[in-house]
Structure 1
Amino acid sequence: TFDLIIDTVPVKHSLDQYTPLLDIDGTLVIVGQIGPMEESMTAPLVLGRRRVAGSLIGGIKETQEVLDFCAEHGIHPECQVIKAEQVNEAFDHLRAGDVAHRFVIDMASLSV
């Protein structure tokens, strides 16, 4: 179980798969989705004294603190590096919702 989960999912989704992962008095902080969310079951929140909160991104100082924390603890994003000509294919995957990582465009693949 976790004391804190930072939810960075940028699209409408359910919190139901995450709230049971929180420890008693744990908090799930939404920083990715701005807008409607899927309906969620309240029992895991109420019975576990869990919280859902939201936060905007911090400034440069806070961002650097997060990067330092991640570096210290070996936390890194899951990324797939693609060439510029693969952008449309990447968008197709995003539209289909079958992506569990971020796409990163290799800028060296751009023709000048």
Structure 2
Amino acid sequence: MLNPTAIHYDSAESAVNVTWEDGHVSKYFTMYLRGWCACAACQGHFATEYRYIKNDGPALEDAVPIGAYGVNFHWSDGHDSGIFTFRELRAMCPCDECKGHAVARQVSRGSRSTHKD
């Protein structure tokens, strides 16, 4: 699993930039991240497939590291309980090289994984 070496919020672009151990830089616009909100209110407690939730682009208020495996984003609309694992974040990278915008996030019992359409 690749881990980030830096996570930076660019408020001017409303984007979170993640630099990975392999040197790749992923740019996630906040509307994209919030749309894939991993909290139970958005995805349900027993979701087998994550869905994108249209949103008005609430402001990112905080990004909190969760152990050595993920990050929890706090949004101005109150959503703050979902955790994105680093594996998920890398798999959802929307750049042309990664094609993360085309993935359908799947959930398997005990751990989430990301698959292409």
- TM-score w.r.t. the length of structure 1 is 0.21
- TM-score w.r.t. the length of structure 2 is 0.20
